Amino acid sequence: MTTRRHVLGALAAAPVLSLPGLARAQSDYPSRSIQMLVGFAPGGGTDIVARMLAPSLQAQLGQPVAVENRPGASGTIASAAAARARPDGYTLVMGTVSTQAVVAPLMANPPYDQMRDFTPLTLAGTVPMVVMVPGNAPYRDLAGLLDFARQNPGKLNYASSGVATQQHLAAEMLSQAVGVSMTHVPYRGTGQVVNDLLAGTLDLVIDTLPTHLPHIRGGATRALAVTTPQRVPVLPDLPTVAESGFPDFAITVWYMLLGPAGLPQPVVERWSRVMNAALSDPALRRRLEETGYLVGGGSPEDAAKLVRQEAERYGALVRRANIRID
């Protein structure tokens, strides 16, 4: 895997525009298509929000915004590619709380420095997570699931889109709170997780709401609880994990647009404007909300602050859970 030393070496070796050339490039930006990387397979929450935003961004920028899936390594393959890209605004990444605040420091050879190798641009949105089981599972509520887990240590398997992703951390938090043991099954993305949950070959997953909402509404799978402190408007009858006996339990997933470190300030400001304009559009906001997203927005400074805060919060959690990535 690419190390941070390789990343920085590649950036140092990259050709640099002269100052007049750089100024022209910034004033003409964008003059060609833009690549938005996604670190997970199609069908997951990161992919959904990127593809919902892309048409509005294209319309504003006057250039194609191509969403490209590069799944693997808990989402860090795409983030590493963005970190080593030329800092000109033509390669960005739709990162997540996992890829940008949690996973990299757990790796033996981190592919990037999550605090120094990126330019946070705008928070795209936040989503609740839901405790999901197959539609034919015998558990009607979270209490029933956890009772079975207590009586059968290690028998239940739960999925995630990679080690130390939010799905993994949410299940670890619940296991710690209840004092039960379950078996972790990491995937490369949540699309296959959904397929296996529908087929009944997985026992449960704690995953992003937009990914599973169509199947919940259709009755193919069953939601037992939502991980936010309050119930969510799109599923008002679904209780929270806190209501189910764990008052301090709360975890969400956020998605953020980022570029490599060193993006020129005019490019940063342009992306902040177009992202906030897209997220303020009533039609797009309605679509995002109906899909289960809490719409984001804000400044690059707000985004950078969120990364710092979440890195501190989840760093403590993974140390308690003794999570490592080989």
Kindly report which listed range (11-25, 54-68, 184-198) carries the lowest average pLDDT score: 11-25
Residue bearing tokens 């939502």? 226
Lowest mean pLDDT among 117-121, 156-160, 246-250: 246-250
Lowest mean pLDDT among 2-11, 33-42, 288-297: 2-11
pLDDT level of residue 161 (50, 70, 90 thresholds):
confident
Confidence at 269, pLDDT banded by 50, 70, 90 = very high
Do domains 4-126+253-321 and 128-226 share one topology? The answer is yes
DSSP code of 72?
-
β-strand 118-134 against 252-260: which pairing, if any?
antiparallel
The residue-averaged pLDDT of 296-313 equals 95
pLDDT at 69 exceeding the cut of 80 = yes
Residue 152 banded pLDDT, cuts 50, 70, 90: very high
* Among the four given CATH numbers 3.90.420.10, 3.40.190.10, 3.40.50.150, 3.40.50.620, the one describing domain 128-226: 3.40.190.10
Pair 266, 117: CB distance under 8 Å? no
Q: Where are the domains of the chain?
A: 4-126+253-321, 128-226
Cβ atoms within 10 Å, residue 241 = 27
Interstrand relation of 118-134 and 204-208 (parallel, antiparallel or unpaired)? antiparallel
State the pLDDT confidence band at 100, using cuts at 50, 70 and 90: very high
Phi, psi of 192 (to 5 degrees): -70, -30
When the pLDDT of each residue in the chain is averaged and rounded to a whole number, the result is 89
List the structure tokens of 184: 């972790």
Which phi and psi (to 5°) does residue 8 adopt? Answer: -70, -35
Beta strands in 73-117 (DSSP E): 91-96
Q: What angle do CA 266, 127, 191 make, to 5 degrees?
A: 100
Mean pLDDT of 160-180: 89
pLDDT of residue 164: 85
pLDDT of residue 189: 76
- pTM of the model as a whole: 0.81
According to the model, what pLDDT value does residue 87 have? 98
Count the Cβ atoms, other than its own, within 10 Å of residue 250. 16
Task: Name the more confident of 9 and 271.
Answer: 271
Higher per-residue confidence, 257 vs 14: 257
Structure tokens at 163: 């080690």
Give the whole-angstrom CA distance, residue 124 versus residue 45. Answer: 11
**Are 120 and 309 in contact, with CB atoms under 8 Å apart?**
no
The pair of structure tokens assigned to 261 is: 């470190």
Which residue has 């250039």 as its token pair? 63
Cis peptide before 30 (omega within 30 of 0): yes
What is the average per-residue pLDDT within 32-41?
96
Q: Helix (H) and strand (E) counts for the chain?
A: 12, 10
Report the pLDDT value the prediction gives residue 326, as an integer from 0 to 100: 64
So what's the architecture of 4-126+253-321 in CATH? 3-Layer(aba) Sandwich (3.40)
Query: Which has more pLDDT, 17 or 196?
Result: 196
Which helix or strand (DSSP H or E) is residue 146 part of?
helix 142-151
Whether 188 has a pLDDT exceeding 90, the answer reads: no
